[in-house]
């Protein structure tokens, strides 16, 4: 689903945020929709935070896997044609 369609079809909740006046005025002058922009950036921040949490949670597995590959090579390496 395209992001702009997602913005239009999901349930909305009114939220108050505080932003510097000059920032709001410049965004308005440039035709930037604050709600859509904040939503897009918040989704990105959430994705990044989830990615970082996943990396922390699985760091020991990734390290162990990398050590295994370094010591034993990749699985099926004998049949690799490149």
Whether 7 shows a pLDDT value over 60: the answer reads no
Residues 13-70 have pLDDT tens digits of 999 999 999 999 999 999 999 999 999 999 999 999 999 999 999 999 999 999 999 9
**Domain housing 42:** 21-71
The band of 78, judged by pLDDT with boundaries at 50, 70 and 90, is confident
CA distance 50 to 39: 16
Strand, coil or helix: 55:
helix
Q: Which residue has the tokens 């989704």?
A: 43
Domain count across the chain: 1
Residue 40 lies in a domain: yes
Q: Is 63 part of any domain? A: yes
37 lies in some domain: yes
Indicate whether 45 belongs to any domain. yes
Sort residue 76 into left (φ over 0), alpha (ψ -120 to 50) or beta. Answer: left
Supply the pTM of this predicted model: 0.68
């Amino acid at each position: 689903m395209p992001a702009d369609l997602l913005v239009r079809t999901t349930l909305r909740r009114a939220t108050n945020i505080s932003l510097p006046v000059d920032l709001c005025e410049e965004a308005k002058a440039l035709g930037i929709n604050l709600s859509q922009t904040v939503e897009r950036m918040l989704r990105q921040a959430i994705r990044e935070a989830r990615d970082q949490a996943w990396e922390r949670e699985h760091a020991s597995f990734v390290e162990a896997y990398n050590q295994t590959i370094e010591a034993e090579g990749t699985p099926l390496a004998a049949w690799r044609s490149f």
